[in-house]
Each structure stands twice: as structure tokens, then as C-alpha cells.
């Protein structure tokens, strides 16, 4: 009896381990698989597939619960099938999959019987997470209607479709220059995303997408929405995102669809809301506009080169909502998501000062000399005798409220800087002193005010940094750290 139990347990453990395998793909031949689909075909539910940089000319079909992740990010890893149809299909009611770090470009069929997207299809009850992907230059399928069965057929979405039985979380993604198809005859498909099922869009950028045009029919037909269109049973929330510069398609009676969010033609059970996002003309029928929605130029770094990071002074910086952001999360490039007083809108987090960056796990330190708040996040600044200094630290999203903290400082001279002993900790144990703490971090943080004694302290430098002990930290020894700021004495 005991022996049979051990044997059965061993089998179960073996199955569990088998379902947690990691498979490697490299188009150049440096891994056991040269195609993504080849790895998927042998993977078991729960497996992870890591894909090396390269261009993968294949259609990817995921029909079991897998993690498919690139190792080099979207800039270096492209799914670009020569064949018609969606480049990626995530299908099946038992499928909960993650797709992360790819550039996806596909083109739909010109003689299709279905309204399929060119880029990504999530369908037949599947649940998907799409993260840090670029869906660009995709063209939806142009289905052919039948005068006897389906006299009009809507054109396929350019970028992505989530069908009425499926759901998707779309996070830190870019939808660029996708083209919705025209129905032949029928209504036009949306350029970016068709939300016929349940969609949660967070920290994304939609720009340059164009809805398809409606073609001749006996009844009025509309063009496709530019960025997003909601299906009759669709449910979509858009938060911390940027939707600008898209164009709705033309209806067969000369009317235009909405450029950014097109409501359903018939809203059977559909809902739509947008909050803490930069949306060009967000006030459209049916869409619930929540707090934090702006309509301002986002000041991208270089859209012509597809660089949709934010410039300094962008109204999208620190304008996002913590509720739609993981304080421990990462942006499109893998940088810390929380680098200021609040998350940013869009796929890229503005990094402010990158010298002596802490773990950036929802702990923020600011220093203000003589009331100059503009330099509060600058990590090196001058200070002199008689100056006033305000030091403040907080957990902007509140995830570390109640955790024990220390404010530490170390005086040093340029020729003998501190020697860090841990990553993202820029003080050494021999010279650092605790200025405040240990204490539990209160909501809203802690503020200390100092007056620098008269006289010169040059060439001394005072380095200050906050440490928080928390099991939420992914850093060694569960220590979350703020940036380290240097106060250089004149």
C-alpha cells in the first residue's frame, strides 16, 4: 500500500515537473528548436518557451496554456509570416497564455470568409496576456460576403481581435500603423483593436492606426474605428494609455467612424471606460470617461523613428493611476515602472535621473534645497552653508506603507566615495549613519527639514538614501531602496 502510494506520487511529481519545462528557440540554429511553432507542438501546459532574437517567418498558434517570451525584446524579435491570416492565434477554452516581447506584423486573407485580424487573434474561450509587444503594419482580412447567406461582412481588424468568448490583458504594448480591412461588401474593420470580448488595456500606445472603409450595400454601413472598436458584447477598460493620431474609416454614406474609440453599432451587453489616459477626443457616445483623462500632445521623443518614450515636460509623466499599475512592474523596455510621484501614461516610464538608481520598488526620495522643487528628483545638487534642506520620502502607490524604513546618510570626499556592498545600495556599512528610523512608513511619507550651518564644508559630499525592509522587494535581502542623492557642499 505504501509502495503504491509512493509510486503514484512520483508519477504526479514527474508530470508536474514536465509541465514546468523551459524550451528554447533560435531561428539561427543555436537552440533545440528553430521555429516557435515547433516548440509549441511538443510543449505541455505550464511550459515556458524562450525565443532568441531573429525574424520568424511562421504563423504561431497557441492552443494550450504556455508562456512564450522573447529573450531580446520586441526590437530584436519579430513574428513576420509570409502566409496570410493572423500572425498569432491564441485559441481554446482551456488556454491561459502569456505572449511577451515580440514585434508582430501580419496580413489577412484577401478572399477570406471570416473577419480575421492581421496581427493577433484571441478566440474560442481563450484568455491571453499580451505584454511588451509591438503590433505594427498589420492588415485585416477582407472577407467576401454572400448575397444569399451573409450579404454584408465586416472587414477584419488590422492589429488584434478578441472575440466575444475570449478575454485579454494588453499591457505595455504599441499598436502602430495598422490598417482595418473593408468588408466586400460590408462595414470597415478597426485599425488597432476589436474588443468583441473582455479587454483590459494598460500602459499602451495606439497611434497611426486606420479603420477600414465601408463598401457599397443597400443599408448604411460605418467605417472601422481608428484605434479601438467595441463589439456588441465587448467589455473594455483603457487606463494609463495614449490614443492619439489614429483615423476612423469612412462609411458608405460618407460619415466617419471615431478616430480613437468607436462604440458598438448595437450594444447588446457592451461596456467601455477610459481613465488616466491621453485620448484625442475621448468624449464619444457610450464610452464612460473616468478621472485623469487628458487631451494633450504627449511629446514623444521621436515618433518618426518609432520612439514613443516621453520627453521631459510631457503631460503624461506622473499622470497615471496606481490602481492599473504594479509598483514592482516594468515598462516596455523593462525599466522600473514607478520612477516618480505616480506611474506614467503610455508604454515607457520616464526615468528622470538615472544616476544611482535604487530598486525603484515604490519608494521615492526627494531633496529640495532653498525651495527649488524643480530639482527634487535630481540626484546630484549643490548645497552651501545657510541653505535650507527639505528631505521627503514616501511610497507613491502605497504598497510599502507600514513597512520599516531607514533614512541613511554618509559624508565623504570625492577621492574616497562609498563602496556599495549590495546592488542599488550606494552606501557602505562602515561610513553610513542612520538619520531617521527604524520606523514604520506612514501613508504620505515622512518629511524632515534642516538648516545647514553657516560656513564652507567643501569638498564634502553628503549621500542620502532610504531603505525599506519588505517581502515585496525582489532585491537581495528583501531591501527596497530609493535613488541615492548626493548633496555637494560648496
Distances (CA, A) of 84 to 27, 105, 116, 245, 365: 21, 11, 10, 27, 52
Concatenating the DSSP letter of every residue in 221-242 gives -PPPPSSEEE-TT-EEEEES-E
Q: Which three cell numbers stand for residue 159?
A: 492589429
pLDDT value at position 214? 86
Q: Which three cell numbers stand for residue 137?
A: 503594419
pLDDT value at position 16? 36
Distances (CA, A) of 135 to 60, 118, 231, 292: 14, 9, 20, 26
pLDDT tens, residue by residue, 123-141:
999 999 999 999 999 999 9
pLDDT value at position 251? 78
Confidence of residue 468 (pLDDT cuts 50, 70, 90): very high
DSSP label at residue 279? E
pLDDT value at position 20? 78
pLDDT value at position 7? 36
State the chain's mean pLDDT as an integer: 90
Q: Stretch 425-447: mean pLDDT, rounded?
A: 94
Does 193 score more than 90 pLDDT? yes
Confidence of residue 5 (pLDDT cuts 50, 70, 90): very low
* Helix (DSSP H) and strand (DSSP E) numbers for the chain: 2, 36
pLDDT tens, residue by residue, 262-275:
988 776 789 999 99
- Who has greater pLDDT, 56 or 215? 56
pLDDT value at position 250? 87
Q: Stretch 424-443: mean pLDDT, rounded?
A: 93
pLDDT tens, residue by residue, 355-374:
999 998 999 999 999 999 99
Percent of the chain at pLDDT > 90 equals 74
**In which residue are the cell numbers 519579430 written?**
78
pLDDT value at position 154? 81
pLDDT value at position 113? 63
- Range with the lowest mean pLDDT among 37-46, 243-252, 313-322? 243-252
Q: Stretch 250-277: mean pLDDT, rounded?
A: 84
pLDDT value at position 112? 64
Does 475 score more than 80 pLDDT? yes
- Give one word for 122, left, alpha or beta, with left for phi > 0 and alpha for psi -120 to 50: beta
pLDDT value at position 15? 37
pLDDT value at position 253? 65
pLDDT tens, residue by residue, 327-365:
778 899 999 888 999 999 999 999 999 999 999 899 999
**In which residue are the cell numbers 508604454 written?**
347
Distances (CA, A) of 169 to 75, 264, 279, 423: 21, 20, 19, 32
**In which residue are the cell numbers 544611482 written?**
356
3-state secondary structure of 6: helix
In whole angstroms, give the CA distance from residue 486 to residue 414.
11
pLDDT tens, residue by residue, 13-60:
343 344 579 999 999 999 999 999 999 999 999 999 999 999 999 999
Percent of the chain at pLDDT > 70 equals 91
Distances (CA, A) of 378 to 88, 112, 326, 344: 43, 56, 24, 18
Amino acid at each position: 500500500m505504501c509502495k503504491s502510494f509512493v509510486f503514484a506520487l512520483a508519477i504526479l511529481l514527474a508530470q508536474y515537473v514536465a509541465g514546468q519545462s523551459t524550451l528554447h528557440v533560435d531561428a539561427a540554429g543555436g537552440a533545440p528548436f528553430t521555429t516557435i511553432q515547433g516548440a509549441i507542438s511538443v510543449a505541455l501546459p505550464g511550459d515556458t518557451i524562450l525565443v532568441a532574437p531573429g525574424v520568424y517567418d511562421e504563423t504561431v498558434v497557441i492552443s494550450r496554456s504556455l508562456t512564450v517570451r522573447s529573450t531580446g525584446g520586441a526590437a530584436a524579435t519579430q513574428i513576420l509570416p509570409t502566409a496570410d491570416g493572423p500572425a498569432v492565434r491564441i485559441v481554446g477554452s482551456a488556454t491561459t497564455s502569456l505572449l511577451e516581447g515580440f514585434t508582430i506584423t501580419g496580413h489577412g486573407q484577401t478572399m477570406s470568409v471570416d473577419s480575421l485580424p492581421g496581427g493577433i487573434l484571441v478566440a474560442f474561450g481563450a484568455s491571453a496576456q499580451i505584454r511588451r509587444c509591438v503590433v505594427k503594419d498589420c492588415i485585416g482580412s477582407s472577407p467576401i460576403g454572400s448575397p444569399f447567406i451573409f450579404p454584408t461582412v465586416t472587414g477584419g481588424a488590422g492589429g488584434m481581435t478578441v472575440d466575444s468568448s475570449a478575454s485579454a490583458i494588453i499591457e505595455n504594448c504599441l499598436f502602430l500603423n495598422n490598417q482595418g480591412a473593408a468588408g466586400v461588401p460590408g462595414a470597415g474593420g478597426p485599425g488597432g483593436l476589436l474588443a468583441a470580448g473582455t479587454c483590459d488595456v494598460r500602459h499602451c500606445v495606439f497611434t497611426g492606426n486606420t479603420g477600414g472603409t465601408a463598401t457599397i450595400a443597400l443599408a448604411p454601413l460605418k467605417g472601422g474605428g481608428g484605434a479601438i472598436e467595441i463589439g456588441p458584447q465587448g467589455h473594455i477598460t483603457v487606463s494609463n494609455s495614449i490614443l492619439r493620431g489614429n483615423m476612423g474609416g469612412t462609411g458608405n454614406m460618407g460619415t466617419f467612424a471615431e478616430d480613437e474609440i468607436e462604440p458598438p453599432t448595437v450594444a447588446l451587453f457592451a461596456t467601455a471606460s477610459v481613465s488616466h489616459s491621453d485620448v484625442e477626443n475621448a468624449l464619444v457616445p457610450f464610452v464612460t470617461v473616468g478621472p485623469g483623462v487628458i487631451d494633450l500632445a504627449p511629446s514623444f521623443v521621436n515618433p518618426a523613428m518609432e520612439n514613443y518614450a516621453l520627453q521631459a515636460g510631457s503631460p503624461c509623466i506622473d499622470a497615471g493611476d496606481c490602481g492599473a499599475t504594479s509598483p514592482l512592474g516594468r515598462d516596455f523596455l523593462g525599466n522600473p515602472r514607478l520612477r516618480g510621484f505616480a506611474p506614467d501614461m503610455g508604454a515607457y516610464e520616464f526615468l528622470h535621473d538615472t544616476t544611482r538608481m535604487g530598486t525603484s520598488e515604490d519608494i521615492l526620495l526627494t531633496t529640495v534645497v532653498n525651495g527649488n522643487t524643480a530639482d527634487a528628483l535630481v540626484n546630484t545638487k549643490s548645497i552651501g552653508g545657510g541653505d535650507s534642506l527639505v528631505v521627503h520620502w514616501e511610497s507613491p502607490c502605497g504598497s510599502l506603507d507600514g513597512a520599516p524604513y531607514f533614512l541613511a546618510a554618509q559624508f565623504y570626499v570625492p577621492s574616497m566615495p562609498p563602496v556599495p556592498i549590495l546592488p542599488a545600495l550606494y552606501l557602505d556599512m562602515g561610513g553610513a549613519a542612520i538619520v531617521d528610523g527604524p520606523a514604520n512608513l506612514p501613508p504620505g511619507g515622512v518629511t524632515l527639514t534642516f538648516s545647514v550651518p553657516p560656513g564652507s564644508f567643501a569638498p564634502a559630499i553628503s549621500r542620502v538614501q532610504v531603505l525599506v525592509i519588505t517581502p515585496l522587494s525582489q532585491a537581495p535581502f528583501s531591501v527596497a531602496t530609493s535613488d541615492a542623492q548626493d548633496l555637494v557642499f560648496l
